[in-house]
Amino acid sequence: MRPLPPALSRLLVLTTLLTALPAAAGKIQLGDDAVLNVDVLLQPQMQLIKDGAPTGGVGTDFFLRRVRLLVFGSITKKLSFFIDTDQPNFGKNGDYSPAFYIQDATVAYEFADKTWVEAGFILAPLSHHALQGAVALNTVDYHSELIRYPLGVGKVWRDMGVQVRGFAGPWAYRAAILNGVEGATLENGQVVNPDDLPRAVGTVRYNVWGHEYDPFLRGIYFTEEPLLSFGVAGDYQYSAIATASGVHDAVALAADVFLDVPMGDDQEFVLQSNVFSWQQGFDNVRSGTGFFVELGYRIGIIEPVLTTEYFNGRVAAQDLLTFRPGFNLWFQKHTFNLKTEVAVSRAGDIAHATTGITGTAQLQLFY
């Protein structure tokens, strides 16, 4: 018999493996403690934007908000890893050229009971919301306008470094030493981070009810036991920001509350609020104080959600006010769902700004 071409042979082997694994749902047991998980996250979005069309009418846009491949697992009971990729906003406004990149890449070792040291490309531990995974948000998307890390630091809220994460009784904590802004002499002669010192980020949470043990926190847990926690956090790097007025330290402070309470037969109430203070120079448009509040009440698969955001900039006419009523359908919880919202916002000089309106519907498949 004539042998098959090598490429066809490899394709047949791959097809056989894939058809043999659906019952494992991406989980492959490699040994007593060694497990490999391969998952995908797909979030197609549709948006309707007021005045978004060239004629001034309603603009329409269909695109992939996120398309991720996640590879994670454990090698021993104490040694684990997590890697994922992303190519966000693929096709938005007709642009199919967004970069494909590594989103997270960490290795973690549990050196004591419920205490891990992690190294790699790490999600900076500032506030409950900033630590949430995109898979498990209770809203369509993050409150990105309120997360204002210094420009040029890491990528999408991640940074290179090392972190200790753990639990002690009702307390949870994360402390990270990260790259931050690299020491450099700028073209205008200003020197940022002259001693090339690292960035320090840390958070402490007090859990009144329950615990959130996941490395990536969630916006809704579909919980049968109440969860209530309060957190404070800080982010600091010396001489990291250059503005027209000089070189400034980069300082961020945050506080938050998270509540997820079952209210009866397949019902729950969810509340989350985060406050942020960004201090990067009084003449920096990224400096200021902001907060958001999320409220949701789930009845079975149905959940109305109401969110508001506010940011008060240190620079004049750099404010933001947004209301986001929404409606979620949790067909299979975080595995398969549909989230919708209408964002009504004013930015800049809020009192005189034009009101923007954007309607969004997002389908999610995580498997």
Question: Could you tell me how far CA 305 lies from the centroid of its own chain?
Answer: 19
Count Cβ atoms below 10 Å from residue 45 Cβ, excluding itself.
21
Q: Whose CA is closest to 294, among 266, 319, 323, 334? A: 323
Residue 10 pLDDT greater than 80, yes or no? no
On the CB side of 279, how many CA atoms lie within 13 Å of its CA? Answer: 13
Lowest pLDDT segment from 1-5, 51-55, 237-241, 323-327: 1-5
Give the pLDDT of residue 17.
Answer: 41
Which has more pLDDT, 42 or 10? Answer: 42
Q: How far apart are CA 125 and CA 318, in angstroms?
A: 26
What 8-state DSSP symbol labels residue 220?
-
Q: Whose CA is closest to 161, among 193, 128, 201, 192? A: 201
Give the pLDDT of residue 152.
Answer: 86
pLDDT category at 15 given cuts 50, 70, 90 is: very low
Read off the pLDDT of residues 63-116 as tens digits, 9 standing for 90 and up: 999 999 999 999 999 999 999 999 999 999 999 999 999 999 999 999 999 999
The proportion of the chain whose per-residue pLDDT surpasses 90, expressed as a percent, equals 90
Residue 11 pLDDT greater than 80, yes or no? no
The region, left, alpha or beta by phi > 0 then psi within -120 to 50, assigned to residue 120 is left
pLDDT category at 25 given cuts 50, 70, 90 is: low
Q: CA torsion sign, 136 to 140 to 145 to 146?
A: negative
Q: How far apart are CA 33 and CA 28, in angstroms?
A: 11
Which residue do the tokens 């989350």 mark?
Answer: 272
Read off the pLDDT of residues 306-354 as tens digits, 9 standing for 90 and up: 999 999 999 999 999 999 999 999 999 999 999 999 999 999 999 999 9
Give the pLDDT of residue 18.
Answer: 40
Start-to-end C-alpha separation, the chain:
40
Q: ∠ CA(210), CA(170), CA(308), 5° rounding?
A: 60
CB-CB contact of 52 with 356 (8 Å): no
Q: How far apart are CA 226 and CA 207, in angstroms?
A: 11
Widest Cα–Cα separation across the chain: 80
CB-CB contact of 170 with 227 (8 Å): no
Mean per-residue pLDDT for 199-227? 97
β-pairing verdict for 191-192 and 35-49: unpaired
Give the pLDDT of residue 30.
Answer: 84
β-pairing verdict for 319-334 and 336-348: antiparallel
Mean per-residue pLDDT for 282-291? 96
pLDDT category at 27 given cuts 50, 70, 90 is: confident
Beta strands in 87-226 (DSSP E): 101-112, 115-123, 158-168, 171-178, 184-185, 191-192, 199-209
Amino acid at 282: F
pLDDT category at 223 given cuts 50, 70, 90 is: very high
When the pLDDT of each residue in the chain is averaged and rounded to a whole number, the result is 93
Residue 241 pLDDT greater than 90, yes or no? yes
113: tokens are 């009971």
Residue 228 pLDDT greater than 70, yes or no? yes
Give the pLDDT of residue 342.
Answer: 98
CB-CB contact of 201 with 182 (8 Å): no
Q: Whose CA is closest to 98, among 139, 25, 146, 156? A: 156
Read off the pLDDT of residues 132-152 as tens digits, 9 standing for 90 and up: 999 999 999 999 999 999 988
Amino acid at 311: F
β-pairing verdict for 35-49 and 267-279: unpaired
Q: How far apart are CA 136 and CA 331, in angstroms?
A: 14
